[in-house]
Amino acid sequence: MTVAGAVASALERPLVVADPFEPLDAIVVLVAPLLASGRISPILTERVAAAAELYRLGGAPLVVATGGVTLGAPRAEADALAEGLHAAGIPEVIIERESRTTAENAHFTAALLFPRSARRIWIVTQPFHGRRAALLFRRAGFEPHVWHIAESIEYQQRRRALRWLVREYAAWGALLVRRR
């Protein structure tokens, strides 16, 4: 194992959540920035594949694509994500295109799912992001479960994962400061 791999593994350990499978009310797919072309990135492609697998397993009948326009993207991230989900075989996708942060993902998704009595949800994101996403969705009134992407790009590209992990720890720090 490389030094980057060892450090990434140590940093990941407290962040990763892998809830056991059970049918829930909805699958919420979180976004990441789009490519400059407006298409989904390899990270989002991974999330689409994971959400499609979960949907086919009977994880939930509803699927939500989240994400507004961020980082100068040419369109809402949720629209690009929904296209990928449709192409992966999910016939109907609820689109939440207002959010720009994970906390906003939770808030705006609640407005879409609570009227449908959907509170027990799967969150689909990379492993390093699952614990904080679950906390923010719990605060929004959901009972969140995290779908673990066992073959994640995060585990394959360790140097890149280190950048993501440092950013995730900074997000946790900001979250803790805001709570005080």
Please indicate, yes or no, if residue 13 is contained in any of the structural domains.
no
Predicted pLDDT at 28:
98
pLDDT in tens, 69-96: 887 888 899 999 999 999 999 999 999 9
Task: Indicate which CATH number applies to the domain containing 59.
Answer: 3.40.50.620
What domain range is 143 assigned to?
23-179
Measured CA to CA, the distance from residue 19 to residue 130 in angstroms comes to 10
pTM of the model as a whole: 0.93
Please indicate, yes or no, if residue 11 is contained in any of the structural domains.
no
Question: Averaged in consecutive runs of 10 residues, what is the pLDDT profile of the chain (180 residues)?
Answer: 88 92 98 86 94 98 94 88 97 96 96 98 95 97 96 88 91 84
Please indicate, yes or no, if residue 121 is contained in any of the structural domains.
yes
Please indicate, yes or no, if residue 17 is contained in any of the structural domains.
no
Please indicate, yes or no, if residue 3 is contained in any of the structural domains.
no
The structural domain count of the chain equals 1
Please indicate, yes or no, if residue 18 is contained in any of the structural domains.
no
The DSSP element (H or E) to which 54 belongs, if any, is helix 42-56
